[in-house]
Amino acid sequence: MKNILVLCTGNSCRSQIAEGYLKHFVQGRAKVYSAGVETHGVNPKAIKVMALDEIDISANTSNHVNEYVNVPFDYVITVCDNAQERCPYFPTKAQRFHHNFPDPAKATGSDDEIMLEFSRVREMIKTYCREFIEKHVQEA
């Protein structure tokens, strides 16, 4: 079984959303983890925006990348430039992928405008995750 790590700065929004979608699309054909080069806690708006798409990430935790140093990852996906620059070396044959998604936690404006940005970024991550699984994780 393949091991996939999604890495971002704080393991708060983008990597949590990606973890939720990767698990959804992979349907048990791989183990999916998410972590940050720091830990900021799971953003409540990330939980809310995923619930709007019927994916529950409310039990997710914010984890530091060092917690997974002994996991033999096949794929490491960085979802922000900061994480890509600070991503540690994993002593595996992990293939690295990178896509710099906007940080919805930096959105400003009314609650509705902020949630609109979370929804916009969620859809970008959803598309990326669906295509990643289709391309890299074979049928069981």
Catalytic residues: 8, 80, 87
The three-state DSSP-derived secondary structure of 53-121 is CCCCCCCCCCCEHHHHCCCCCCEEEECCHHHHHHCCCCCCCCEEEECCCCCHHHCCCCHHHHHHHHHHH
Enumerate residues 6+ apart whose C-beta is below 8 A from 10: 36, 38, 39, 40, 41, 62
Query: 124, 104 in Cβ contact below 8 A?
Result: no
Q: Facing residues of 75 across strands?
A: 4, 95
